[in-house]
Structure 1
């Protein structure tokens, strides 16, 4: 065996590949050739250094990830939508109390006596709206669930109130009682919009993240056609089997 063949076999052995020669013949050559033995030691050192060499520096993506996690803009020290929503809820309940015990003036100068069925209906509606506003206040992340009912009720009420005011059936005093409702609906819409911008638990924060990021499994786009993760074993594994 010549030195070139022996060194090629040594290199293959260090790489974990088939040497292509008989191990006995290779050992005999290394025992008799000092140059090849020295070359084997040097090659082993180089291979070891290559395998334990530190990985190169990687780009720091911490800032980019935090930017996608935290909503843009600095949050206000005072959560004004929730404060105004609490004010609207308290105003709704105060309106309920006034409708239960105080006469309600109409646009023509007459009043609706407390205890009438019409007032009881108004009390029931205003009380339900107050409860809905308190529910949003306690769970601002689910504010969107109350928007369909609150928007529909406020929209119909605004249209009918304009028509009644144009005919002179109601005055400003009666219309002022609807301000807390409108304020509560606007605050609920703001909280719902803010909740949509925040990531939910377990959601993918950024659209650029893989579908299975963080699970230890590659996403569909990351798996190449020849990858072993597609349930096909490499040729070496098939030969070994």
Structure 2
């Protein structure tokens, strides 16, 4: 056997693999060949180093790498801004949901948008109707925010908003023609239509596969676990020395 063949077998042995040549023949060659003895010593040394590297805690070198490359690490704010730029429809739906909650908050505070009349009393006064409306507005606002954060809920949200907007539009037109609704109240319904539009856009993005699994989301270096930054396993043993 020549030295190259022996080293291939020794490399397999160092890696814990089954050598195809009897160990006795390898030992005889190593004892008689100073070059192969030196090679085997280096291979064992490398194997010990790799074994230590696998067991030792891994240090995060992100900061040093970015500093050496003169690259400023992205702040949390910059990361959120990057996400928002690539998820405009979802952000818009969340904001409209918050706007809807704002309308509900104003109604709770006593702003009735022309709903309450002080001239009528009884079981079904305008005050009670406003309370019911406020509860519904709160529910819609919360649902919009959830659909913006969890696009899978956009289908249900779009269905509810679509039905509500359709019926509401008919009532608004009828009441406006008969002078039974104020302009302020009509304007307060605008988040419903905006929410429907952006719920449909979020649903479209979700079904197109761009949003749900985040398959194409940008991954920043400091988001990657230290043990995942090698293109190739750091545990590769002395095969490279063979």
Sort the TM-score into its range (normalised by shorter chain): 0.3 to 0.5
Please report the TM-score for the alignment, with normalisation by the length of structure 1.
Answer: 0.48
Bigger Rg, structure 1 or 2: 1
Larger relative contact order (CA 8 Å, sep ≥ 6): 2
Please report the TM-score for the alignment, with normalisation by the length of structure 2.
Answer: 0.48
